[in-house]
Structure 1
Amino acid sequence: MDVAVSNRKDGTVLVTVSGTIDIDTAPALRSAMEGLLDDGRNRIVVDLSGVDFCDSVGLGTFAYSHNHCVEHGGFLRLAAPSPFLARLLATVGLAGRIPVHATVTDALPT
């Protein structure tokens, strides 16, 4: 799994994730997200277009990050999940709590 972080001029952080998010790789994602949150970054869009699998550890990272962002006046938005990941997010109830957008462009603030 690869994680790339880019800061946008509007203060939003775009986190691009690719590959498999599982028990072996999720700690790198969690570390990247915690680093952003610790730095006070609370407007985050996660590009999931390159993710082919995500387990409960990855889902937990998204839930934790979302809660932290909202508690600090920001947001976490998930963008461009594969059909598998979109179904998974809906099945576990995260799609009802965390905004999920079809594209990164739709997820970015206007």
Structure 2
Amino acid sequence: MQDCFHDGAVSRFGGNDGRRRLGLSSTRKAGVVLATVSGEIDLATARAFAQHLESTLAGPPNAVITDLEEVAFLSSSGLAALQIFAHAANSAGVAFCLVSAQRTVLRHLQLTGLDRDLTIKHTVADARTWLCGKPTPDR
């Protein structure tokens, strides 16, 4: 299997309310950003989540993997942020893959129909395999 990932920059953000309700980190390797999210994405944290997603398009990368495996709650505000980001990534020619096997997260994606619009994989390894099979855009 082809290795699409090499050493890259890392950035981390914590919740701004002192309770760390939302954890955000990103790593950029060989043109692919892995954005890892943990905690709760609700009305109070959705803005920080959306801003973090938007920041991953700087560069721009060839692809963004957003890992929601450690997300305990995903509100309609978080779903809207994902939908807006997916559109922005598509407009920029950036491949986007969401990672989650969390039943609560997947259920919200199904109820809203976003599961039909987004590429969703159960593990980061599956997302990497999917991305390695995609053609790299000319930049």
Gaps of 5+ in 2: 1-21, 133-139
For residues 1-110 of structure 1, what are the structure 2 equivalents within 5 Å?
Answer: 1-9=22-30, 11-41=31-61, 43-108=63-128, 109-110=131-132
Change (3 A) 1:39 1:57: farther
- Could you tell me the percent identity over the aligned residues? 29
Across the aligned residues of Structure 1 and Structure 2, the Cα RMSD in angstroms comes to 1.3
- Code of the aligned partner of 1:16: T
Q: Deviations over 1:1-38 (max 9, x none)?
A: 110010012x1100000000001111111111122235
Q: Which amino acid aligns with 2:27?
A: S
* In 2, Cα distance between equivalents of 1:2 and 1:28: 10
**Structure of higher CA gyration radius:** 2
Q: TM-score, normalised by structure 1?
A: 0.91
TM-score by length of 2: 0.73
Structure 1: 5+ residue stretches without partners: none
Deviation at 1:84?
1.1
Compute the displacement of 1:39 (Å): 4.0
Matched position secondary structure for 2:116:
coil
